[in-house]
Amino acid sequence: MSRIWKKTLIVMMGALLVFSLAACGKSGDGGNRAANEASGSGIYKAGTYTAAAKGNNGDITVEVVFDANAIVSVTVKDHKETQGISDPAIEKIPQGIVTGQTLAVDVVSGATNTSNAILAAVEDCVKQAGGDIDVLKVAAAVNEGDKTDSEMSTDVVIIGAGGTGLAAAGSAFEQGAKVVVLEKQGNVGGSTALSGGGIAATGTRFQEEIGVKDTPEDWMKLWKERQSTSNPDSQYPDYDRVTQFMDDAVDTTHWLVDYMNHKYARIEGYGLDPAARLHFPEKGGAELISNLEKTVREKGIDILLETRATELLTNEQGAVVGVKAENAEGTLTVHAKKVIIAAGGFAKNEEMLQRFLPQFVEDMDISAAAAGSTGDGILMAEKIGAALYEDPWVIGLGMGSRIQELGGLSWDTTKILVNEKGERFFNENSHYAIVTNQVVNHEQVWMVIDSSEVNTKTIEAIQGQMPNDEIATGGTLQELAEAMAVPADALAATIDTFNSGVASGKDVFNKEKETLIAVNKGPYYAFKFYPKTMGTFGGVKVDESFRVLKEDGSVIPNLYAGGESANRSIYNQVYMSGSAVQYALTSGRLSGAHAANAIKEGK
């Protein structure tokens, strides 16, 4: 049965079910539906209604138009959701509601919060219009027998449509390969779409055009300095790989403009990385992904959304020969000469975090990683014998609060942090990845502020949140310590020592003078903060061409991996600004080109 006929059948069945249930179920404000229709009063109070519900980044406002017997239209009028990530939900959820005359619409993978907010707001409008919520929430019956097994063949199949996957697709196509991309979410982009979109590279023609002199040696010096702050026993990074990455990054930065229709709006430093080596698009990672997706689609490359890869297919010799996947239509088998895993890391997989990084499990809810970062590709490769990198770690994004109004303080390096002992433990004006690594080592971390003028807006913003277990307050430091459940003497000594350093300009943790602001005016406040991540270092081991390796160092034929699925070799435990997106794109570009050229060479 064709997809169109199946969808038509489902809609018809849903409509029949709705009306049959309406005939015998409880009514809304307008009474029994059958009676309403017979009397001409209708199912709804015709009109236009609005409502709002909380989405991912704030309220989503919808407008719903009803006539007497149907939902005529659903329109999202206002929202603050992330461009690109939320777009499929904003398009598909209203469409599904109107087409099926139902609230039993599946959420869009990767945009769950946005989907649920739209559904909740529409439900509110239905209530206003006197509709029967219970009836509208009944899903149309789906005949599992309608699901089919299908097959297709291609040269290269790519698992994941984030930065790595889209770059791999463009590069493989450039080298003459036929390409198919599988994406389990309802949208493309992955973690790259959520990033600032800046990619670091040194000595690019774009830097030269604006007079910036920057060398790999400069970047390497900072790289080694940052990595030295973390695990002294780690065998990573492999600095030969880092050196090669820095050279390849320049080519990628040029290739994106020359072949993938990307543009840079500015080249600048970021935070504690002042060197102008981050190449930013105008509108961040969402624009980067939009440019890549548009280019890939214009080349005729198929991107199959909401199609989850479940298994790598191998032949008797252990060579990878394709991918098995699942979607709404059933099971899809993609026969391919080469497979590239570009499915991201595992920051959103509780089971994998428990296995590799249990210290980050408790706070995974505040991770900024993409919803699809569940390690699927890594696990599929491991199942067929791929070696995993030792001692994986997280891509740190500093720290986060569970109080939305305190989000901005995560980046305020003038504030001080204390642990469960009431003691400071490092220079708060550190790179955000180092902040994550420090914060995770303590049972509880608090940010302490006073009532000086600089904190007025923060204090006003949290008044509506009180009382709250995430916030402690006290008229004196003694009272604050009691509310925090930390030793009062220790907290008082910590604040006294810090304030003395402010006065002298010499902080005990060498915090820069311009970031030293005294904490000495009651009442005082303390906010709980937690380690925040945006991804992981780890994945499957790969060689210089991003071919996946076994434990014995041999190559698994026809299998490649890039991005967070294989990024451990260039880091210890500290992320370098602009390097993760650059690595995603560079590993995608190189793996795609190598796979396509290997096919041409009969390898």
Read off the pLDDT of residues 319-357 as tens digits, 9 standing for 90 and up. Answer: 999 999 999 899 999 999 999 999 999 999 999 999 999
* Average pLDDT, integer, range 207-220: 96
Whether 200 has a pLDDT exceeding 80, the answer reads yes
- Residue 501's pLDDT band, with cuts at 50, 70 and 90, is very high
The pLDDT of residue 176: 97
Q: Are 488 and 418 in contact (CB under 8 A)?
A: no
Which has more pLDDT, 3 or 287? 287
* 143: amino acid identity, one letter: N
Report d(CA 230, CA 237) in Å as an integer. Answer: 11
| Closest C-alpha among 334, 306, 301 to residue 320 | 334
- Residue 88's pLDDT band, with cuts at 50, 70 and 90, is confident
* Helix, strand, or coil (residue 54): strand
Tokens for 224, please give them.
């080694």
The pLDDT of residue 111: 82
Report d(CA 590, CA 588) in Å as an integer. Answer: 6
Q: Of the ranges 35-49, 85-99, 211-225, which is most confident?
A: 211-225
The pLDDT of residue 110: 72
Report d(CA 220, CA 226) in Å as an integer. Answer: 10
Whether 434 has a pLDDT exceeding 90, the answer reads yes
* Helix, strand, or coil (residue 149): strand
**Average model confidence (pLDDT) for the chain?**
91
Q: Are 281 and 263 in contact (CB under 8 A)?
A: yes
Instruction: Return all residues near 253 (Cβ < 8 A) that are at least 6 apart.
Output: 199, 201, 204, 206, 279, 582
Q: Please report, rounded to a whole number, the percentage of residues in the chain having pLDDT higher than 90.
A: 82
| Closest C-alpha among 528, 529, 523, 530 to residue 459 | 523
Tokens for 169, please give them.
């697709």
- Residue 502's pLDDT band, with cuts at 50, 70 and 90, is very high
Q: Which of 73-82, 139-148, 444-453 has the lowest mean pLDDT?
A: 139-148
| Closest C-alpha among 292, 286, 317 to residue 84 | 286
User: What does residue 385 show for φ and ψ, rounded to 5 degrees?
Assistant: 105, 10
Instruction: Return all residues near 27 (Cβ < 8 A) that are at least 6 apart.
Output: 33, 35, 36, 132
The pLDDT of residue 23: 36
Q: Are 81 and 57 in contact (CB under 8 A)?
A: yes
- Residue 143's pLDDT band, with cuts at 50, 70 and 90, is low
* Average pLDDT, integer, range 458-485: 94
Burial tier of 505 (Cβ tally within 10 Å: 0-12, 13-18, 19+) = exposed
Q: Are 442 and 528 in contact (CB under 8 A)?
A: no
Report d(CA 52, CA 202) in Å as an integer. Answer: 46
Burial tier of 470 (Cβ tally within 10 Å: 0-12, 13-18, 19+) = middle
Q: Which of 115-119, 244-248, 563-567 has the lowest mean pLDDT?
A: 115-119
Tokens for 132, please give them.
């029967």
